[in-house]
Amino acid sequence: MRKKELQARLDEMRQLLGQLERHSDRISTVLMVREPATSDAADAYEGLRRQVVNAFAERRSHLSQLVQLDDALSRGADARTLAAMVASWLEQASLRRVQDFTGPGRRELFDVLGDPGDHMEVVAPAYVDDLTGRPVRLGRIQAAVTPQRLPQPTPTPEAEPVPERLAAALPGADGDADGPNASGEEQA
């Protein structure tokens, strides 16, 4: 009983501590709003302002890319033109496509589909933000499908000649009445 009581009390204390932390954050926010001249409030305001400016810049960039893509498609752009366009956008965004999983630290950029085999192949590349080094999307690899060695056909033994003594024992071999004669007709 004592152990259960202590565990319950410990859980209750954790909940109270969590509530205190949340209240502390709220109090700090309220103080920043009421006292905008403090350095903490100025830093928080500047950080928020930068995030808003960056969000608008990213949106304009994304909209510009969509317009370029729509324009290229409406003009009948081929796959090579579209691929070059996307490669340019990836470079502008400092986004790197990783298709080789064998380098140091690269295996962590890929999910393995199914059972790993001796030879693996990339099913989908990984994408990494070069500014942060963090993966944007993990790639996928799976065991490579290798052509199986086809089994060699087993040689069939050629029909061996039937020995004469066995041939003589076959029905119809010597003109016997039960089988056909040499011309294939039944004897009476």
Instruction: Give the burial string for 77-104 (b: 16+ CB within 10 Å, else e).
Output: beeeeeeebeeebeeebeeeebeebeee
pLDDT tens-digit profile of 110-168?
998 988 777 889 999 999 999 999 999 999 999 887 655 445 566 665 655 656 665 56
Q: For residue 113, give Cα distances in angstroms to 65, 90, 118, 122.
A: 32, 26, 14, 10
Give the span between the Cα atoms of 102 and 43, in whole angstroms. Answer: 44
Q: How do beta strands 139-143 and 120-124 pair?
A: antiparallel
Give the span between the Cα atoms of 128 and 97, in whole angstroms. Answer: 7
User: Hey, is 20 helix, strand or coil?
Assistant: helix
pLDDT tens-digit profile of 12-69?
888 888 888 888 888 777 766 666 677 777 787 788 888 888 888 888 988 999 999 9
Q: Nearest CA to 80 among 68, 70, 72?
A: 72
pLDDT of residue 97: 94
Q: For residue 12, give Cα distances in angstroms to 6, 19, 35, 72.
A: 10, 11, 34, 62
94-146: what CATH class? mainly beta
Give the span between the Cα atoms of 182 and 162, in whole angstroms. Answer: 17
The tokens for 84 are 């070059």
User: Hey, is 81 helix, strand or coil?
Assistant: helix
pLDDT of residue 144: 81
pTM over 0.75: no
Report the length, in residues, of the chain: 188
DSSP code at position 160: P
